[in-house]
Amino acid sequence: MPKDPHVHRNDPHYKQAKQKGFRARSAYKLLDIQKRFNIFKRAFYILDLGSAPGSWLQISRKIAEENLEKYKDQYYHRDHFKILGVDLKNISPIDDVKTVKMDFNTPEFQNEIEIFFKSNKLDIILSDASINKSGNKFSDQIRQNQLCYSILEIARKNLRYKGILVLKTFQGQDFNKLMKQMKYEFQIVKSYKPKASKKGSNEIYIIGLKKK
C-alpha cells in the first residue's frame, strides 16, 4: 500500500528537516547516533553507502569541516577531508563531496574508493542503504542482512584500525548472528534505534566502534 503523502508531510522530523535544509528526515537518525556515540570524532575520510538523497552526506560534510579546526593537535588529524557517496539513484551535487551512481557491491566501486582516497584507509563508513522491501518481514530481514554482510566486507577492506561502521538492518531471526559477526571485527558493537525512526518500523542501526 503506498504511503500517504499527507501523513508524511505532517511528520515532525520531515518538517524540521525541510526547515533546516536537510534533504530527508533521515538526517535526524544520523544526528541522534552522533549525539549518542560520537561517531564522527576525528573523522576526515568518510564513505556513505546508499546516499540518496544526500542528507547523511550533508551532515558528514558539516562535521568533517568542523573537525579540521577542532582536532589540530599532536594526535590523529588531517588538514583536509574527503567524502564519497554512492547510490543507484541520482544524488544532487553537494559542495566538496564526490558522489557516484553505481552499485557499491562491484569491483569497480572498490576501484573508485581506492582512487578517490588514494589508497588511504577510511575513518568511518556509513550506510543507510536498504533493500526494496517485499512486505514479507522474514525474507526482507534475510535480504537486508545479506546487504549488511557485503557492507561489512567493504569495511574490512577499507576501514582504518579503530575506524567506525554504522549500518542499518532489520530486527528479526538473523539479527543476533549479524551482531556476533560484527563483534569479530570491532572492539565495541552497539545496536540502536534512533528517535527519528518511525514507531512501526523494524529498522535498527548497528554501530561498530574501534575496528580491530
pLDDT tens per residue, range 90-99 = 999 999 999 9
Q: Where are the domains of the chain?
A: 25-211
Q: Place 172 in a pLDDT band, splitting at 50, 70 and 90.
A: confident
Alpha helices in the chain (DSSP H): 5-9, 12-20, 27-37, 55-70, 107-116, 137-158, 175-185
Statement: 25-211 belongs to CATH 3.40.50.150: yes
Q: C-alpha grid cell for residue 198?
A: 518511525
Residues contacting 114, CB < 8 A, separation 6+: none
Catalytic residue among 168, 183, 193, 198: 168
Q: Percentage of residues in the chain with pLDDT exceeding 70?
A: 90
pLDDT tens readout for residues 48-63: 999 999 999 999 999 9
Q: Is 29 a catalytic residue?
A: no
pLDDT score at 207? 98
> Tell me, what's the pLDDT at 4?
42
Name the helix (H) or strand (E) containing 182: helix 175-185
- Residue 38 region by backbone torsions, left for phi larger than 0, else alpha for psi between -120 and 50, else beta: left
Contact 163, 122 (CB under 8 A): yes
121 within 8 A of 45, measured Cβ to Cβ = yes
Radius of gyration of the chain (CA): 17
Give the pLDDT of residue 6. 41
Mean pLDDT of the residues in the chain: 91
Q: What is the pLDDT of residue 7?
A: 42
CB 124 within 8 A of CB 209: no
Distance CA 96, CA 61 (A): 8
End-to-end CA, the chain: 43
CB 120 within 8 A of CB 40: no
Q: Which of 81, 175, 84 is nearest to 127 (CA)?
A: 84
Q: Per-residue pLDDT tens for 55-86?
A: 999 999 999 999 999 999 999 999 999 999 99
Distance CA 59, CA 210 (A): 21
